[in-house]
Structure 1
Amino acid sequence: MPEIRHTPHATTGLRPLPAGTGIDAHRHDEHQIVYAGRGMLSVTTEAGSWIAPATRAIWIPAGTVHEHRAYGDTDLHLVGLPVRDNPLGLDRPTVIGVGPLLRELIIAYTERPADLTAERRRLRAVLLDQLRHSAEQPVHVPAAKDPRLVAVCAVLRENPADNRTLAQLGAVAGVSDRTLTRLCRAELGMTFPQWRTQLRLHHALRLLAEDTPVTVVAHRCGWASSSAFIDVFRRSFGHTPGAHHRADLAPGGAGGLVVRSNRRSPKGA
């Protein structure tokens, strides 16, 4: 991530992002919560990627170098918090659940960021209380560091529908499946099938945000059938991709995960 900007204070407010645009790599000295009230948002750091639709937000700790990308026209709600305010007690980027009440609190708080009234202070206090009860959502697509595993992961990032086994992919990269299995555990914190499923779900969320039909999403992400895709999606997010597609802009919309963008974008956040 070249040309990293340093913005001491994390932005609080609402920022519309057209589909395909984003915010370049930057860091700030405060914590920040980012939430897509409409559309789909990704956050990428050197550790990997997270995606957050309408029932998820992303916690970004102070000092974390990160960049944003919008999938579909996105309303980006940003809540900056001083370092002393860490209601989640987390020191790493994390996807958290957003229920109807927390959603409305975030939207209300970011609509008038310059308002310093007592009412706004009370709103902020309730928002922090709700954040303390937000559940962490383990939907991260981690990034590999070992060049051998990086090469294999790059093949699947380029084409999530590639159904080759780990042994077949390893043969192309000149490394054994046993070594790759060990590297997956050590660097990704999960098995290869688990990582590939997370990657496919992450790609599926991006396609759904771009109004891609469910049957096409299933095919492009490597599932054998639409029903297989729907089953995995439902077990991961609690609803079908069709419901996600219809409710993307409404409270209680979609699930949560994140992807990397190399495209330059407007400054901010």
Structure 2
Amino acid sequence: MYAASGVLTVHTERGTSIVPANRAAWTPAGFTHQHRAHGDTDMRIVFLASSLARLIPDRPAVFLASDLAREVLLALTGPRNYDAASAYSRSARWRLLRVLVDELREADEQPLHLPEPRDDRLRAIARMLDENPAENATLDELGKRTGASTRTLSRLFRDELGMSFYEWRTQLRIYHALVLLADGHDTTQTAHACGWANPSSFIAAFTNVIGTTPGRYRTDRRTGAWASRIPGE
């Protein structure tokens, strides 16, 4: 699943994947899933035969979409596929799918997945912060609300979700930020709505995860001018 523009979220039993317009989401067969578009989103879907699907992870994942992967995805889902006179032949389509799979195999998986907590105390915290991402309560304060110690909650975040509380909260906030930006909010509004003290700290966190600034992300989302920008480059 690919957003040529806009933002998608894909929810499975494993959690929620956030898919901005320079990422591709993979959902293997057998995973019940729901997807939602935010803002003006151009969603593209490509299905893989089992012989190709087994070459990439057997779990939901989000990948950085290279320039080549993007062009292949657009080709496989573009107008040409609905015109019998100019449609790709079966062998040509297979070659394009193989190129796509090769690109995904080489791509880095992206930290844009919010795992689904199982513990009731983690679920309560996740619900509170999802409803109000600007909440700045410490883990100790949240523990008092849910009846768990800081030590217990820290262990649960590591064991169940594979990250610290603060890493998880940053992921959650980035997800909400992507949705707000897709809906037309500016950088300052989005920063405050998602709990950052100032736009500068928001821009730094957003760029570290998404690979581009919020301002450039908004511009590129509208124009479709995506390149494979990797955090740190």
Q: Which amino acid in structure 1 is aligned with residue 168 of structure 2?
A: W
1:114-140 CA-to-partner distances (Å, cap 9, x unmatched) read 645144343333333323322211221
1:170 equivalent to 2:143? Answer yes
Unaligned runs of 5+ in 1: 1-33, 256-269
| Alpha-carbon distance between aligned partners in 2 of 1:101 and 1:254, rounded to the nearest angstrom | 9
Superposition deviation, residue 212 in structure 1? 0.6
1:182 equivalent to 2:149? Answer no
Q: Select the residue among 40, 46, 60 that pairs with 2:7.
A: 40
Q: 2:44 maps to what in 1?
A: 77
Count of aligned pairs: 223
Higher relative contact order (CA 8 A, sep 6+): 1
1:243 equivalent to 2:216? Answer yes
Q: 1:12 maps to what in 2?
A: none
Q: 1:4 maps to what in 2?
A: none
Partners of 1:87 and 1:132 within 8 A in 2 = no
Q: 1:196 maps to what in 2?
A: 169
| Alpha-carbon distance between aligned partners in 2 of 1:198 and 1:192, rounded to the nearest angstrom | 10
Superposition deviation, residue 244 in structure 1? 0.4
Q: Which amino acid in structure 2 is aligned with residue 57 of structure 1?
A: A
Partners of 1:200 and 1:222 within 8 A in 2 = yes
Question: Per residue, is there more helix in 1 or in 2?
Answer: 2
Return the TM-score normalized by structure 1: 0.78
Unaligned runs of 5+ in 2: none
Partners of 2:38 and 2:179 within 8 A in 1 = yes
Q: Select the residue among 91, 97, 110 that pairs with 2:58.
A: 91
| Alpha-carbon distance between aligned partners in 1 of 2:103 and 2:120, rounded to the nearest angstrom | 41
**Alpha-carbon RMSD:** 1.9
Return the TM-score normalized by structure 2: 0.89
| Alpha-carbon distance between aligned partners in 2 of 1:88 and 1:134, rounded to the nearest angstrom | 13
Partners of 1:145 and 1:187 within 8 A in 2 = yes
| Alpha-carbon distance between aligned partners in 2 of 1:76 and 1:234, rounded to the nearest angstrom | 23
Superposition deviation, residue 36 in structure 1? 0.5
The SS at the match of 2:197 is coil
| Alpha-carbon distance between aligned partners in 2 of 1:124 and 1:96, rounded to the nearest angstrom | 16
1:32-65 CA-to-partner distances (Å, cap 9, x unmatched) read xx00001111100122111111210001111111
Partners of 1:46 and 1:143 within 8 A in 2 = yes
Question: Per residue, is there more strand in 1 or in 2?
Answer: 1
The SS at the match of 1:58 is strand
Aligned sequence identity (%): 47
